[in-house]
Structure 1
């Protein structure tokens, strides 16, 4: 099964391939599928944006598509950056500088009021338009400084400490982060769906072979 991931973010592609290890799925990035256009993410929710991206890639490629829209929501900033996480600082600020920009915004916010959560919505879309939605959320706090080494275009990992831990996502191994992250939790639901779907497919093949 070929699955086109509707993203130009190499960090997300790397995470996705790790999360789908063990499945008979060939993961291709949008570029690898020959899709270079960007989708205008003008939805009002993570789900709306993920649906828009998945539909675009499925229609362009004629194959199954997967889209993720996710972001960091900070309580003291009224939920910002939220759906604007990738671009809330403006075009002049590079992705790798978003952590510093966010810490500057939170300079006057005390430790006890730095609650935040990461949210992810995945949309799996068949080439005929059928689709399924999977969500994940992880609570935590914003650190007082950037810590660790983040994957490309995942700058908020440097400053997000998940609940019950004392390390940022960027200080964790890939396996440790994926076991508790918002995207990891959404992917767990996706993996259960794919496992059931593939078991059903294998059963149908077996039934056909026994006729």
Structure 2
């Protein structure tokens, strides 16, 4: 299988990505496994800007194809916050259990469809030849009244999907990957990689796994 770098240190994310990549011929590794120790400042105003910046900077450091994503939770009642600041909401080191409770507290007097929210994910691919591609995926839902579920990570325990009657943290991984914002964006990116990356991989430092 061909290995490519994903700009993350989050092992939970890597597991989800590799589940989605099954059958593609690609295997994703985190930055540290590829010998990359680089912190990219996510100072863009959109998910696209942040994803592209991470992918390009790490591609330039590694001279390999790099995937990066930027994703977040948009809560309509909070003017789509935390949005691009989802990971930094209430502080980078604040546990998500605390962040999730803060969001539910802000919506304590809000009910029904007024609790509407969505997960957004943009995946960017940066190629050593200078080409950049992006894909976007979303999933619509509502903020739950209480945290539920042990699967997933981040805001999953408070993101309720009415059509399935559960939070994304309660979903089996296969179902979540099919429905999720990241799953949709990665499925689209997988097609781009399969169609356009074959020739470039011939000179990839990683080679075959």
**TM-score computed with the length of structure 1 as normaliser:** 0.88
Distance 1:5 1:72 in 2: 21
Larger radius of gyration: 1
Give 1:96 deviation, angstroms.
4.0
Structure 1 equivalent of residue 194 of structure 2: 195
**1:7-156 equivalences in 2 (<5 Å):** 7-91=8-92, 93-151=94-152, 154-156=153-155
- The answer (yes or no) to whether the contact 2:151–2:173 under 8 Å persists in 1 is no
Assess, with a 3 A threshold, how the Cα gap between structure 1 residues 36 and 97 changes in structure 2: closer, same or farther: farther
Does residue 171 (structure 1) correspond to residue 170 (structure 2)? The answer is yes
Structure 1 equivalent of residue 204 of structure 2: none
Structure 1 equivalent of residue 161 of structure 2: 162
Distance 1:116 1:74 in 2: 4
Assess, with a 3 A threshold, how the Cα gap between structure 1 residues 176 and 189 changes in structure 2: closer, same or farther: same
Structure 1 equivalent of residue 181 of structure 2: 182
For residues 187-210 of structure 1, what are the alpha-carbon distances to aligned partners after superposition, in whole Å with 9 as ceiling and x for unaligned?
Answer: 121122233336x76xxxxxxxxx
Give 1:148 deviation, angstroms.
0.3
Give 1:163 deviation, angstroms.
4.5
CA RMSD of aligned residues (A): 1.6
- The answer (yes or no) to whether the contact 2:122–2:137 under 8 Å persists in 1 is yes
Number of residue pairs matched by the alignment = 198
Distance 2:92 2:186 in 1: 30
Distance 1:126 1:63 in 2: 7
Give 1:32 deviation, angstroms.
0.8
SS in 2 for 1:50: helix
- The answer (yes or no) to whether the contact 2:70–2:121 under 8 Å persists in 1 is yes
SS in 1 for 2:16: helix
Give 1:132 deviation, angstroms.
0.7
- The answer (yes or no) to whether the contact 2:150–2:169 under 8 Å persists in 1 is yes
Distance 2:95 2:48 in 1: 25
